């Protein structure tokens, strides 16, 4: 079975064509600058990279071109579109409705549209991708895999904010959480690697990319996560503040005469590591390099970054009344031995956690990095959201399901 995975953003589309017999990636790529001059596709097959520059005024044109590439004799992997058995789409927000992946029909499209008020920057472009594929490949089934779905069944005590209840009733203001596909993939994989029964395990997943979040996964379900109503809450991120006293928002609006849009931009795009380093960088590689050269600002920022992560790990160990494994993933989690080591060594000794420095000295590899006698296993598991989307899509289509329960 061949599955196309589509992750459609506002001006870019990531795609991967997978052969599910053996779960092999046949080819993949990124269409960028859609609707902007200079649009192009960076396409990869068997480790070789090809760049195609072509005007792509909208998502439909971009996907039409992507499909042509998939069929291309040299860079493609299929002879005919009938070889694509299904398309799996990443969708950011599924509100409270979607607690698992779903077969896309008119009703699902309407619901994704309805939840656009919760993710105005993401759901509309996700839908553009879905609608374009439906038009270009009308016979092929489409599946939606939501970033929020893994967290959608967390308990009320974890998802309700202590503000007047009417705002939950009126606008569904609650914690949703994001990166769900990644947390689900790496927690499952960690249980497999450790030989743990996923349905009985307590796992903390630490996804550290530009956006970053932590989840408490108990008995195979997400019971809490650090991102909230929007992806702004929780950890210190590349350009997002993470947790802060909400009074700072009104204080700054008054003092600096900021509009709600300006304060939104300030907290989402100018804060975090970028803001703390006085706009030096939002890239953790730069911060690490400077911290290792004893730059006082970068050393402090790395401390703040790690401290917030450690506090959340402590909180989630409490939330689950214990923890069997901690999993690091995404850009920083997979590639930064120093961040992993400092979090574990400086803060998590009380949990009986011990890191094997040699084993920890890896980038982008799946591995247990704790010592044999560590009371909690610590792992690095490179995330693979595309594979998870493709697996869900395959299962839904093969079993003729309407919705997949996690």
Q: Which residues contact ligand ADP (rule: CB under 6 A)?
A: 209-211, 238, 283-285, 288, 330-332, 335-336, 363
Q: Is 103 annotated as a binding residue?
A: no
For the bound state, the minimum distance from the C-beta of residue 262 to ligand ADP, rounded and expressed in Å, comes to: 24
Q: Is 385 annotated as a binding residue?
A: yes
- Burial of residue 343, with CB atoms counted within 10 A of its CB: 0-12 exposed, 13-18 middle, 19 or more buried: buried
- Burial of residue 12, with CB atoms counted within 10 A of its CB: 0-12 exposed, 13-18 middle, 19 or more buried: middle
For the bound state, the minimum distance from the C-beta of residue 207 to ligand ADP, rounded and expressed in Å, comes to: 8
What φ, ψ does residue 374 adopt, rounded to 5°?
-65, 135
Q: Is the Cβ–Cβ distance between 343 and 378 less than 8 Å?
A: no
Q: Is 14 annotated as a binding residue?
A: yes
Reading phi first (left if > 0) and then psi (alpha if -120 to 50, else beta), residue 354 is in: beta
Q: Is 183 annotated as a binding residue?
A: no
Q: Is 126 annotated as a binding residue?
A: no
How far apart (Å, rounded) are the C-alpha atoms in residues 397 and 403? Answer: 10
Residue in the structure block whose two tokens are 């269409």: 31
How far apart (Å, rounded) are the C-alpha atoms in residues 223 and 221? Answer: 6
Q: Is the Cβ–Cβ distance between 229 and 161 less than 8 Å?
A: yes
C-beta closer to ligand ADP: residue 52 or 178: 178
Q: Comparing C-alpha atoms, which of 318, 291, 293 is closest to residue 304? A: 291
C-beta closer to ligand ADP: residue 52 or 274: 274
Residue in the structure block whose two tokens are 């693979």: 384
Residues in Cβ contact with 83 at an 8 Å cutoff, skipping those fewer than 6 apart: 2
In three-state secondary structure terms, 18 is strand
C-beta closer to ligand ADP: residue 125 or 209: 209
Q: Is 188 annotated as a binding residue?
A: no
Q: Is 177 annotated as a binding residue?
A: no
For the bound state, the minimum distance from the C-beta of residue 238 to ligand ADP, rounded and expressed in Å, comes to: 5
C-beta closer to ligand ADP: residue 301 or 332: 332
C-beta closer to ligand ADP: residue 247 or 294: 294
For the bound state, the minimum distance from the C-beta of residue 352 to ligand ADP, rounded and expressed in Å, comes to: 27
For the bound state, the minimum distance from the C-beta of residue 169 to ligand ADP, rounded and expressed in Å, comes to: 33
C-beta closer to ligand ADP: residue 310 or 362: 362
Q: CB 212: neighbour CB atoms within 10 A?
A: 29
> Among this protein's residues, is 147 annotated catalytic?
yes
C-beta closer to ligand ADP: residue 52 or 305: 305
Residues in Cβ contact with 386 at an 8 Å cutoff, skipping those fewer than 6 apart: 5, 7, 14, 16, 18, 25, 28
Provide the Cα torsion 190, 195, 198, 201; round to 10°.
-90
Residue in the structure block whose two tokens are 């930064």: 336
Q: Is the Cβ–Cβ distance between 185 and 255 less than 8 Å?
A: no
Q: Is 207 annotated as a binding residue?
A: yes
Q: Is 244 annotated as a binding residue?
A: no
Q: How many residues in the chain? A: 406
- Burial of residue 260, with CB atoms counted within 10 A of its CB: 0-12 exposed, 13-18 middle, 19 or more buried: exposed
Reading phi first (left if > 0) and then psi (alpha if -120 to 50, else beta), residue 234 is in: left
Pick the catalytic residue: 72, 80, 85, 147? Answer: 147
Give the residue numbers of the binding site.
Answer: 7, 14, 90, 207-211, 283-285, 331-335, 385
Catalytic residues: 147
Binding site for substrate, by residue number, is 90
Binding residues for ATP: 14, 207-211, 283-285, 331-335
State the binding site for Mg(2+). Answer: 7, 385
């Amino acid at each position: 079975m061949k599955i196309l995975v589509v992750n459609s953003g506002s001006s870019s589309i990531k795609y991967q064509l997978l052969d599910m017999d053996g779960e092999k990636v046949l080819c993949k790529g990124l269409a960028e600058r859609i609707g902007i001059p200079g649009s192009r596709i960076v396409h990869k097959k068997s480790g070789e990279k090809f760049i195609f520059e072509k005007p792509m005024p909208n998502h439909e044109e971009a996907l039409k071109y992507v499909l042509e590439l998939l069929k291309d004799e040299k860079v493609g992997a299929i002879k005919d579109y009938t070889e694509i058995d299904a398309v799996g789409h990443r969708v950011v927000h599924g509100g409270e409705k979607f607690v698992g992946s779903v077969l896309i029909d008119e009703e699902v499209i309407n619901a994704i549209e309805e939840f656009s008020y919760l993710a105005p920057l993401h759901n509309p472009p996700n839908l553009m991708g879905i609608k374009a594929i439906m038009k270009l490949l009308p016979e092929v089934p489409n599946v939606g895999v939501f970033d929020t779905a893994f967290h959608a069944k967390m308990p009320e005590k974890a998802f309700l904010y202590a503000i007047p209840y009417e705002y939950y009733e009126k606008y569904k203001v609650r914690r949703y959480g994001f990166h769900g596909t990644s947390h689900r993939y790496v927690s499952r994989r960690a249980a497999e690697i450790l030989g743990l029964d996923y349905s009985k395990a307590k796992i903390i997943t630490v996804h550290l990319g530009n956006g970053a979040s932590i989840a408490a996964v108990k008995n195979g379900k997400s019971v809490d996560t650090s991102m909230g109503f929007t992806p702004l809450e929780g950890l210190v991120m590349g350009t997002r503040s993470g947790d802060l006293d909400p009074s700072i928002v009104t204080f700054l609006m008054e003092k600096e005469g900021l509009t709600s849009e300006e304060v939104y931009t300030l907290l989402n795009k100018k804060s975090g590591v970028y803001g703390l380093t006085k706009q030096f960088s939002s890239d953790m590689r730069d911060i690490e390099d400077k911290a290792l050269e004893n730059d006082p600002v970068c050393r402090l920022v790395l401390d703040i970054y790690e401290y917030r992560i450690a506090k959340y790990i402590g909180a989630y160990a409490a939330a689950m009344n214990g923890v069997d494994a901690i999993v690091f993933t995404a850009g920083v989690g997979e590639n930064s031995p120093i961040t992993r080591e400092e979090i574990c060594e400086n803060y998590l000794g009380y949990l009986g956690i011990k890191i094997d420095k040699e084993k920890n000295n890896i980038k982008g590899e799946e591995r247990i990095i704790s010592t044999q006698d560590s009371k909690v296993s610590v792992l690095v598991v490179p995330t693979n959201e595309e594979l998870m989307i493709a697996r869900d899509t395959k299962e839904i289509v093969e079993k003729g399901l309407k919705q997949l329960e996690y």
